[in-house]
Structure 1
Amino acid sequence: MKIAVHGASGFTGGLVVAELARRGVPAVLVGRSRERLRETAGTEVRVATLDDPDALAAAFADCAAVVNTAGPFTRWGGPVLRAALAARVHYVDTSGEQGQIHDVLATAGPDAERAGVTVVPALADDGGPGDLIAALTAARVAPGREILVADLRAPGAASRGTARSMASIVARGPLEYADGGWRPDDGGHDPVVLPGERVEVASFPLPGVATVPRHVPAARVRAAMRADVVKLFGSFDPGAAELAPAVLDEATRRAGRWFMLARATGDGGTATGTVTGPDPYGLTAVIAVEGALRLARGEARPGALTPAQAFEPAGFLDALVPHGVAWRVE
C-alpha cells in the first residue's frame, strides 16, 4: 500500500511524509519540482503540475489514498481532488478553509460515489478534532438547538502556508448555519468560560460550520476563535502572508498547543466537549495520515464526508491519545 502526498516538498507535506515513514508506509511524493521533492525524505518522486490533470491522475493511480497538503486549498485544491477522483483513489486534505471545505462537501459526493472512493476534507488540527468532538458533544443533548465550535488556542507562530490560507478565508468571511442553510455570520459571541479563565471570542470561519450541520440536526451552528488570534489572522493580507516563515523549527512547533471546544445546547441541557494537543503542525500530519490509512483499509463508505461521518469519533480521537492528545465531554 502506498500513500501519495501532494505538496510533499512543503512544510506540512514534509511532516506527513515523515509520519508515513514512522508508520512504515511507503510514500509517493507528488509536486511540480523534482529538485524540491528530492530534498524531502522519501522513496518515490513523481512530478505533475496542477495544469496537467492527466499527469496528476497518473501520479496517483496506483496509490491507496492521496493526502493533499498544498494550500491555499481554495486556490489549488480543486485540481488535486479531481485528479484523485479520476484515478479512483481516496482523498483527504489538511484544509482549514471553511468556504473550500463547504464547497467540497456540497459538490464532490456524486463523483466520489461513482468512483467508489471517499473524500474527507479538513483533516487538520482544527477541522478534524473539532468535527469529531462536536459529534460526541451533541449526542449528549440531542436533539440539539445550538452548537458552538470554538478554537481557543493561544496566539503562536504561523507558517507561510497557514498565513496564505488565513488571508484566503478572512477575505471570504465567516458563515453560520441557521434556518436549514448557510448564511453570513451576524457576529457577536458571549465569552467562553473555562475553569479559571474567561475567554473573549469572535466569529471566525472555522471548518466546523461547514462540517457539523451535515451530521448533527441542530437549529444553529456557529464558530468562534479566541479574539486576539482572530485579530492576528486578520492581519494576514496576501502581502503580509509572504513574510511569514516557510518552515517552523521543531522547538517552535512543539511549544504550540491547539484547543478545540464544542458546546451543545438542547432538550437535554448543555454539554461541553474539549480536545487539545501539542504541536499543531505535527499533529495535523498525524491526523491526516490516520485518516488516509483508515480510508485505505475501507473504514468509510464512498462519498464526500466530514471526519465524523467517515470515522467513529471516539475511536479516532482515542487513536490520537498516544500523541499527547486529551479529550473529554461533560
Structure 2
Amino acid sequence: MKIAVYGASGYQGKLVLAELARRDIDMRLVGRNATRLREAATTVGTAGGGAAETAGGGAAGTGDAEQLVADTDDHDALVTAFRGCDAVINCAGPFTGSGPAVVRAAIAAGCHYVDTAGEQLYTKAVFDTFAEDAERAGVTVVPATNDGCLPGDLIAHLLAERAQPMEEIEEITVSHFITGGGGFSRGSLRSAVDTIDEIKAGGLSYDDGGWRTGTPARHTAVTLPDALQPTGVAKYPLSEVVTIPRHIPVRHVESHVDAAVAAQLDTPLTPGIIDSLPEGPTEEDRRTQRFTYLIDAVRRDGLSVRGVVRGHDTYGSAAVIAVEAARRLAEDGAEPGVLAPAQAYDPTSFLGSLAPHGISWTITVGCGSLEVKS
C-alpha cells in the first residue's frame, strides 16, 4: 500500500506523515516546494525509497522519502504525482480554492481520496462536482475526514439507529467545544479568512430536503455533559451539516461552536499577521487540549438521543483519522463515488479503532439539553 500526502510540508501534513510512518505505511510526499518537502521528510523521519523529483521528471533533490513537486494549477503534474498510489490524503488548505484540483487529479490517477478539510461549502462542492466522475473511475472520495466531521457523522448514524424509526427524526444539532491547545495553525486561520463571510453568516442549514443559507439558528445554548448550566453557542458552518442528511432522513440539521470561540473570529486577520504567528500549536499545547463534540437528535414525538465524542489534540486526532480513513479505503474499499463517512465505513468499527488514541464516544437516550431560540 502506498498513500500520497498532498500538502505534506504543512503543519497538518507533517502530522499525517508521522502517523503514516508510525504505522509503517509507504508514502509519497507531494507539494509545491521541493525544499519544504525535503525538510518535512527530514523532520518527520519518514522512511522510503526513491529520489525526490518534480512530477514532470526534473530532479528536485534527494531525501529519505519519495517526494514529488506538483502545483494545483498543473493537472498533469498532479496526476503524475498521485499515479501508482492507492489513496491520496489532501492536507493543503485553504481547500475552497485549491482542493477541487487535488480531487480531480486523484480521480484521474485512479486513487481513493480523503482530506482534512473543515470548510463546509468546499465539502458540499466535492459532493456536487465529483460524484459522477468518482463513480465512473471506480474510486471513493470521502471529504472532511478530520477530528470533527468523521466521528460526528459516524455517531449521528448510530444514534439515528437508536432513535428508530429513523424517518421520525425531526432535527440533528451538532456542537463543537474545544478548550486549551494554544490556538489555530496558520493553515486553519487562512481557511477561516477565506471563508469568513460564510462563517459570519452561520453557514448552511439543512431543511426539508435541501441546504439553505440564512436560516436562523434554532438554538442559542447547549448543556454539556455533567454541566449544571448551559453554554452559549453560535451557528457555525461545520461539514456535518453536509454529510449527515446523505444517510439519515432528517428534516433539519444545524451546527454550532462555543459562542466565545466564534467571537474570536471577529478580530480582523491579514496575511501578514497570520505569517507572523507560529506554524501551529506546540506539542505541549496539543497534549493539554481537550475537545467535546455533541450530536443531539430529537424525534418528532420529543424523544432525544445524544452522542458525545471526547478526545484531546484536534490536529493529532485529525492525522490519525485521515490516515485510518485512507487505509481503510485502500485495504477494504467502499462503494465508488463521493460518500459521507457513515456511507464509506462501518461506524462502530471505525470509532473503535480510535480508542487507543484517546478518542471516546457514548450514546445516551432521553437527554434533553438544547435551549430553543426565542
TM-score by length of 2: 0.85
> Aligned-pair distance for 1:7?
0.4
8 Å contact from structure 2 (residues 145, 325) kept in 1: yes
For residues 287 and 70 of structure 2, the distance between their equivalents in structure 1, rounded to whole angstroms, comes to 33
Q: What is the number of equivalent residue pairs in this alignment?
A: 330
Once the two structures are TM-superposed, the CA of residue 267 in structure 1 deviates from its matched residue by: 4.5
Deviation of 1:168 after TM superposition, in Å, equals 2.4
Larger radius of gyration: 2
Q: CA deviation at 1:8?
A: 0.4
Q: Does residue 1:191 correspond to 2:221, yes or no?
A: yes
1:92 touches 1:123 (CA, 8 Å); kept in 2?
yes
The 3-state SS of whatever aligns with 1:78 is helix
Answer with 6-15 or 189-198: which moved more: 189-198
Q: Does 1:205 align with 2:237?
A: yes
Which deviations, in whole Å up to 9, do the C-alpha atoms of 1:181-236 show, x marking residues without a partner?
11113135231112224211110001111111111100101111110111123436
Query: 1:273 maps to which residue?
Result: 307
Deviations 1:107-163 (A, max 9, x none): 211000011000000011111111111111222212311110111223641111111
The amino acid that maps onto 1:255 is T
The 4+ residue runs of structure 1 with deviation greater than 4 A are none
Amino acid paired to 2:221: P
Matched, 1:176 2:205: yes
Root mean square deviation, CA, Å: 1.5
Question: Which position in structure 1 is the counterpart of 2:90?
Answer: 68
After superposition, the Cα gap between the structure-2 partners of 1:236 and 1:7, relative to the gap in structure 1 and judged at 3 Å, is farther
**1: CA distance between counterparts of 2:269 and 2:130?**
29
The aligned amino acid for 2:208 is: D
Conserved in 1, the CA contact under 8 Å of 2:180 and 2:288? no
Report the 3-state secondary structure (helix = DSSP H, G, I; strand = E; otherwise coil) of the residue aligned with 2:223. Answer: strand
Asked if structure 1 preserves the Cα contact closer than 8 Å seen for 2:152 and 2:293, the reply is yes
Instruction: Work out which of the residue numbers 218, 223, 243 in structure 1 matches 2:255.
Output: 223
Q: Does 1:253 align with 2:286?
A: yes
* Distance apart, 1:299 and its partner CA: 3.2
The answer as to whether partners of 2:131 and 2:337 remain within 8 angstroms in 1 is yes
Inter-CA distance 238–215: structure 2 relative to 1 (3 Å threshold): farther
Counterpart residue number, 1:45:
67
Higher mean displacement: 141-150 or 201-210: 141-150
- CA shift in 2, pair 1:97/1:234, >3 Å: farther
Residues 163, 236 of structure 1: 8 Å contact kept:
no
Query: What percent of counterpart residues are identical?
Result: 47
Can you list the C-alpha shifts for 1:266-291, whole angstroms capped at 9, x where unaligned?
A: 14611000011111111100000000
TM-score, scaled relative to structure 1: 0.96
Which sections of structure 1, spanning at least 5 residues, go unmatched?
none
Structure 2 residue 318 is matched with structure 1 residue 288: no
Within the alignment, does 1:23 sit opposite 2:42 as a pair?
no
2:352 corresponds to: 318
